[in-house]
Amino acid sequence: MHERRLNLLFLGFLYACFATIANAQATRTWVSGVGDDVNPCSRTAPCKTFAGAISKTAASGEINCLDPAGYGAVTITKSMTINCTGTLGGILAAGTNGININSGTAVVSLRGLDINGAGTGLCGIKIIAASRVYVENTVIDGFTQSGIWIENAGDTQVLIKNATIKNNVGDGVSSVPKGSSDIFVVDSLLSGNGNGIRAEANATVRVSGSSIIFNGSGFSSKSEARIISLQNNTVDGNGKNGAPTKTIILQ
């Protein structure tokens, strides 16, 4: 009887160990157009979608793309990097948001993505809550609301660099925070949107080296919000160009 109990305890221990290993999250995972979400998302057995990979990626980890493909919409609720630099990470988000970010403490980096709303998508990137968000070398196109929508309840910092945000019915970049938001738009193109950049409530948007052209309006700000033009911006060819609330010439 004693021996049988020991055997059962040993089997239970092994089961717990295997379960822990099976549920372990990797700090780096991979996706591929020929992957499968039942895979562990390793380089040799990649997942197929960002949503499939994110559950197998540890907080502050990174998802990389092995090849150009469509990897689906995703919701991010922890610190995370999605990096498809060197290839192309596509997200086709018809009728929905491309990427939702919803964690007040998260630091999220997005690089090398092509986020397409196909004319029916809502927002390309919707920031509900985050500490900091970096959007780099990314194209956002064809959404019915905004390319990037920022509505955080707490304080959020957002950097948008080398981005093309175009053909969105609402705004290219829209910041209507419930808390406060501090946004930098650097070396980017905003074109064919309802508003190039819209800021409301307690939002500050700084723009540098960017082209805001062929939008319904270029700059739009209300109440206490600020749009600060730092240098080398082109704001022209819009239905109404608008004006920054402040212009700073950098030395």
Residues 27 and 89 in one domain: no
Helix (H, G, I), strand (E, B) or coil at 102: strand
Q: How many domains does the chain have?
A: 2
How many CB atoms within 10 Å of residue 127?
26
Which has the closest alpha carbon to 74: 11, 43, 31, 45?
31
199-208: pLDDT as tens digits: 999 999 999 9
Supply the pLDDT for residue 249: 73
Contacts of 4 (CB under 8 A, 6+ apart): none
pTM for the whole thing? 0.90
| Residue 74 one-letter amino acid | V
Question: CA distances (Å), 165 to each of 2, 44, 66, 123, 200, in order?
Answer: 69, 34, 25, 11, 19
Among 43, 63, 83, identify where a domain stops: 63
Residues 216 and 92 in one domain: yes
Q: Which two tokens stand for residue 219?
A: 């700059």
User: Which residue has 């919701």 as its token pair?
Assistant: 75
Structural domain span for residue 169: 68-247
137-178: pLDDT as tens digits: 999 999 999 999 999 988 999 999 999 999 999 999 999 999
What is the distance between the alpha carbons of residues 169 and 153, in angstroms, rounded to a whole number? 24
Residues 150 and 56 in one domain: no
Q: Categorize the per-residue pLDDT at 231 as very low, low, confident or very high, splitting at 50, 70 and 90.
A: confident
Residues 55 and 91 in one domain: no
Residues 32 and 91 in one domain: no
44-86: pLDDT as tens digits: 999 999 999 999 999 999 999 999 999 999 999 999 999 999 9
The set of long-range contacts for 224-228, using a CB threshold of 8 Å and a minimum separation of 24, is: 225/175, 225/199, 225/200, 225/201, 226/199, 227/197, 227/199, 228/204
Residues 14 and 76 in one domain: no
